[in-house]
Structure formats: C-alpha cells, structure tokens
Amino acid sequence: MLPTRTTQQDNIRTVLKDTIVLLCQNGLCFQSEFTVEALLAITVDCNEVCVISMKETVHASNTVGQLRANVNLLCIALSSS
C-alpha cells in the first residue's frame, strides 16, 4: 500500500526538520543555544506547493528528544489555468 499524501508530507517535514537541526548541531560551535527559523516552499509536479515553516531552538544541554519546536506545513494546489 502506498503512503497517503498527508503521510508523505508529514514524513518530509519531519526529515527536513531533523536534518537541518542535526546539521546545525554538528556544524556550529555554540555555548548556550541556537535557533533555526526557516520557510521552505516545495513545488510538486507544477501543481501543488508545500510550504514548511519551522522555528526551533536547541539548547546546549538538550538532547534530541527535548527540543522545543514549532513546525508547520501548508500545502496548496495551484490552478491549472
């Protein structure tokens, strides 16, 4: 059974968020915290745009399970006119 579009969107949102945070954790030198604020738009098949908005703060004392995150996903269909 193929995953539903909503499941695919949730998966891509989670993978992008986790990857961006991991890249920052491994690539930045920080003492107390860093914050990632991002707005990413992905166009699928020229007829749907998925907009991912994220704001995530990582504290030096946090583990991956303790991150404070705000990640939203909006997908809209483009008109074919």
pLDDT tens track for 22-61: 899 888 888 888 999 999 998 989 988 888 889 999 988 7
User: From CA 76, how far away is CA 61, in angstroms rounded?
Assistant: 38
Domains belonging to the chain, first-starting first, are 5-77 (3.30.1300)
Tokens read off for 65: 């399970």
Average pLDDT score, the chain: 79
User: From CA 16, how far away is CA 42, in angstroms rounded?
Assistant: 12
pTM, two decimals, is: 0.67
- The model's confidence at residue 78, banded by pLDDT at 50, 70 and 90, is low
